Chain A
Amino acid sequence: MSKRPWKNVIKEGFFKAVFGTAAVFSILAVVLIIVFLIYRGSPALQKIGFFDFVFNAEWMSDSRDTYASEVSGSYGILTMIAGSLYAAAGTVTVGGTLGFFTAVFLAKFCPKRIKKPLNQIINLLAGIPSVIYGFFGMRVVVPLLGVFSANGDGSGILAVGIVLGIMITPTVAALSGASIEAVDASYYEGAAALGASREQAVFKTVVPAAKSGIFASVVLGVGRAIGETMAVVMLAGNNAVFPSGLFSSFRTMTANIVLEMSYAGELQAGALAATGLVLTFFILVINLCFNALKGGKMAKKRTAAGRKANPFGRYFNRACQKTRFSASPLYGQNPPKEENYVNNKPAKHSNAAAIAAVGKYVSYAAAAAAVFALLAVVLFVLINGLPHVTGELLFGAFNYGGAPSIAASLLATAMLIFLTSLIAFPIGVFTAIFLAEYTVKGGKFVRLIRLTVETLGGIPSIVYGLFGMIFFCGILNMGTSIIAGCLTVSLMIIPTTVRGTEEALLAVPDSLREGSYALGGGRLTTVRRVVLPPALPGILAAVILGIGRMAAESAPVLFTMGASLKPTPTGYRSSGTTLAVALYALAREGAYVDEAYATACVLVVGVLTLNIISAALGARLQKKLSGGGGIKAQSK
Chain B
Amino acid sequence: MSQEICIRTENLNLFYGAFQALKNINMDICGREITAFIGPSGCGKTTLLRCFNRMNDLVEGCRSDGKIYIKGRDIGADTDVNALRREVGMVFQKSNVFPMSVYDNVAYGPRTHGTKKGRLLDGIVLESLKKAGLWDEVKDRLNKSALGLSGGQQQRLCIARALAVEPEILLMDEPTSVLDPISTGKIEELCGELKKRYTIVIVTHNMQQAARISDKTAFFLLGEMLEYGATKDVFSDPKNEKCERYITGRFG
- Residues of chain A touching chain B, judged by Cβ–Cβ distance below 8 Å, are 1-5, 8, 440-442, 509, 511-512, 514-522, 525, 529-530, 533-534, 624-629, 631, 633-636
Interchain CA distance A500-B37 in the complex, whole Å: 42
Q: A520-B113, A520-B165, A629-B145 are in contact. Are A511 and B80 (CB under 8 A)?
A: no
For B108, the chain A residues whose CB sits under 8 A away are 516, 519, 521, 529-530
**Shortest Cβ distance from B110 into A: residue:** A519
* Contacts A/B (CB < 8 Å), 8 sampled: A5-B80, A511-B92, A514-B55, A520-B83, A520-B84, A628-B99, A629-B144, A634-B154
Q: Is B28 located at the chain interface by the 8 A CB criterion?
A: no
B151 touches which of A8, A625, A626, A634 (Cβ 8 Å): A634
Q: How far is the CB of B101 from chain A (nearest CB, A)?
A: 10
Interchain CA distance A440-B61 in the complex, whole Å: 9
State which of B70-78, B215-223, B233-241 sits at the interface with chain A: B70-78
B112 touches which of A440, A509, A525, A534 (Cβ 8 Å): A525
Contact across chains for A519 and B147 when beta carbons are under 8 A apart: no
For B98, the chain A residues whose CB sits under 8 A away are 512, 515-516, 530
B85 touches which of A8, A517, A624 (Cβ 8 Å): A517
For A530, the chain B residues whose CB sits under 8 A away are 98, 108
Q: A1-B73, A440-B60 are in contact. Are A519 and B112 (CB under 8 A)?
A: yes
Contact across chains for A519 and B92 when beta carbons are under 8 A apart: no
Q: Is B156 located at the chain interface by the 8 A CB criterion?
A: no
**Shortest Cβ distance from A509 into B: residue:** B96
Q: A519-B108, A519-B109 are in contact. Are A1 and B150 (CB under 8 A)?
A: no
Contact across chains for A627 and B147 when beta carbons are under 8 A apart: yes
Contact across chains for B85 and A519 when beta carbons are under 8 A apart: yes
- Leading 3 A-B pairs by shortest Cβ distance: A627-B147, A631-B148, A511-B96
Q: Is B58 located at the chain interface by the 8 A CB criterion?
A: yes
Contact across chains for B151 and A520 when beta carbons are under 8 A apart: no
Contact across chains for A520 and B99 when beta carbons are under 8 A apart: no
Interchain CA distance A624-B101 in the complex, whole Å: 12
For A525, the chain B residues whose CB sits under 8 A away are 112
Q: How far is the CB of B74 from chain A (nearest CB, A)?
A: 9
- Looking at B70, B85, B90, B151, the one whose CB has the most chain A CB atoms below 10 A away is B85
Contact across chains for B161 and A519 when beta carbons are under 8 A apart: yes
Q: How far is the CB of A452 from chain B (nearest CB, A)?
A: 22
Q: Is B86 located at the chain interface by the 8 A CB criterion?
A: yes
For A521, the chain B residues whose CB sits under 8 A away are 82, 108-109, 112
Contact across chains for A519 and B165 when beta carbons are under 8 A apart: yes
Q: How far is the CB of B170 from chain A (nearest CB, A)?
A: 11
B99 touches which of A2, A514, A625, A635 (Cβ 8 Å): A625
Q: A628-B99, A629-B148 are in contact. Are A1 and B109 (CB under 8 A)?
A: no
Q: How far is the CB of A210 from chain B (nearest CB, A)?
A: 31
Q: A511-B94, A520-B165 are in contact. Are A2 and B145 (CB under 8 A)?
A: no
**Shortest Cβ distance from A442 into B: residue:** B60
Q: How far is the CB of B171 from chain A (nearest CB, A)?
A: 8
Interchain CA distance A2-B151 in the complex, whole Å: 36
Interchain CA distance A2-B73 in the complex, whole Å: 10
Interchain CA distance A265-B73 in the complex, whole Å: 75
Q: How far is the CB of A435 from chain B (nearest CB, A)?
A: 15
Q: A520-B109, A520-B165, A633-B147 are in contact. Are A1 and B55 (CB under 8 A)?
A: no
B60 touches which of A2, A441, A529, A628 (Cβ 8 Å): A441
Interface bits B144-183 vs A (CB < 8 Å: 1, else 0) = 1101101100100010011001000000000000100000
- The A-contacting residues of B in range 189-220, CB under 8 angstroms, are none
Q: Is B13 located at the chain interface by the 8 A CB criterion?
A: no
For B58, the chain A residues whose CB sits under 8 A away are 514, 517
Q: A516-B108, A520-B113 are in contact. Are A628 and B147 (CB under 8 A)?
A: yes
For A515, the chain B residues whose CB sits under 8 A away are 92, 96-98, 158, 161
For A442, the chain B residues whose CB sits under 8 A away are 60
Interchain CA distance A441-B59 in the complex, whole Å: 10
For A516, the chain B residues whose CB sits under 8 A away are 98, 108, 112
**Shortest Cβ distance from B53 into A: residue:** A518
For B83, the chain A residues whose CB sits under 8 A away are 1-2, 520
Interchain CA distance A533-B81 in the complex, whole Å: 24
Contact across chains for A1 and B75 when beta carbons are under 8 A apart: yes
For B161, the chain A residues whose CB sits under 8 A away are 515, 519
Interchain CA distance A634-B161 in the complex, whole Å: 18
Interface bits B85-109 vs A (CB < 8 Å: 1, else 0) = 1110110101011111000000011
Interchain CA distance A509-B96 in the complex, whole Å: 9
Contact across chains for B55 and A2 when beta carbons are under 8 A apart: no
Q: How far is the CB of A523 from chain B (nearest CB, A)?
A: 10
Q: Is B79 located at the chain interface by the 8 A CB criterion?
A: yes
A512-B98, A519-B85, A533-B100 known, 11 other contacts, Cβ within 8 Å:
A441-B60, A518-B89, A519-B89, A519-B108, A520-B85, A520-B86, A529-B112, A534-B99, A629-B145, A631-B147, A631-B148
For A624, the chain B residues whose CB sits under 8 A away are 99
Interchain CA distance A530-B178 in the complex, whole Å: 24
Q: How far is the CB of B117 from chain A (nearest CB, A)?
A: 18
Interchain CA distance A116-B175 in the complex, whole Å: 39
Contact across chains for A628 and B145 when beta carbons are under 8 A apart: yes
A8 touches which of B70, B82, B90, B111 (Cβ 8 Å): B82
Interchain CA distance A440-B144 in the complex, whole Å: 35
Contact across chains for B96 and A512 when beta carbons are under 8 A apart: yes
Interchain CA distance A220-B187 in the complex, whole Å: 53
Interchain CA distance A296-B27 in the complex, whole Å: 47
Interchain CA distance A525-B98 in the complex, whole Å: 14
For A628, the chain B residues whose CB sits under 8 A away are 99, 145, 147
For B70, the chain A residues whose CB sits under 8 A away are 1
**Shortest Cβ distance from B150 into A: residue:** A635
Interchain CA distance A332-B221 in the complex, whole Å: 34
For A512, the chain B residues whose CB sits under 8 A away are 96, 98-99
Q: How far is the CB of B37 from chain A (nearest CB, A)?
A: 17
Q: How far is the CB of B145 from chain A (nearest CB, A)?
A: 5
For B73, the chain A residues whose CB sits under 8 A away are 1
Interchain CA distance A235-B58 in the complex, whole Å: 55
Interface bits B59-73 vs A (CB < 8 Å: 1, else 0) = 010000000001001
For A533, the chain B residues whose CB sits under 8 A away are 99-100
Q: How far is the CB of A627 from chain B (nearest CB, A)?
A: 3
**Shortest Cβ distance from A511 into B: residue:** B96
Contact across chains for A4 and B80 when beta carbons are under 8 A apart: yes
Interchain CA distance A8-B113 in the complex, whole Å: 11
Q: How far is the CB of B71 from chain A (nearest CB, A)?
A: 8
For B85, the chain A residues whose CB sits under 8 A away are 517-520
**Shortest Cβ distance from A634 into B: residue:** B151
Contact across chains for A4 and B78 when beta carbons are under 8 A apart: yes
Contact across chains for B80 and A2 when beta carbons are under 8 A apart: yes
Q: A1-B80, A515-B158 are in contact. Are A636 and B151 (CB under 8 A)?
A: yes
**Shortest Cβ distance from A12 into B: residue:** B82
Q: How far is the CB of A486 from chain B (nearest CB, A)?
A: 36
For B96, the chain A residues whose CB sits under 8 A away are 509, 511-512, 514-515
For B113, the chain A residues whose CB sits under 8 A away are 520
Q: How far is the CB of A49 from chain B (nearest CB, A)?
A: 51
For A529, the chain B residues whose CB sits under 8 A away are 108, 111-112
Contact across chains for B79 and A1 when beta carbons are under 8 A apart: yes
For A634, the chain B residues whose CB sits under 8 A away are 147, 151, 154
Q: How far is the CB of B137 from chain A (nearest CB, A)?
A: 15
A626 touches which of B86, B109, B147 (Cβ 8 Å): B147
Q: How far is the CB of B82 from chain A (nearest CB, A)?
A: 4
Q: A4-B80, A5-B80 are in contact. Are A519 and B162 (CB under 8 A)?
A: yes
- Looking at A5, A517, A519, A521, the one whose CB has the most chain B CB atoms below 10 A away is A519
Contact across chains for A518 and B82 when beta carbons are under 8 A apart: no
For B165, the chain A residues whose CB sits under 8 A away are 519-520
Contact across chains for A1 and B147 when beta carbons are under 8 A apart: no
For A514, the chain B residues whose CB sits under 8 A away are 55, 58, 92, 96
B55 touches which of A5, A518, A636 (Cβ 8 Å): A518
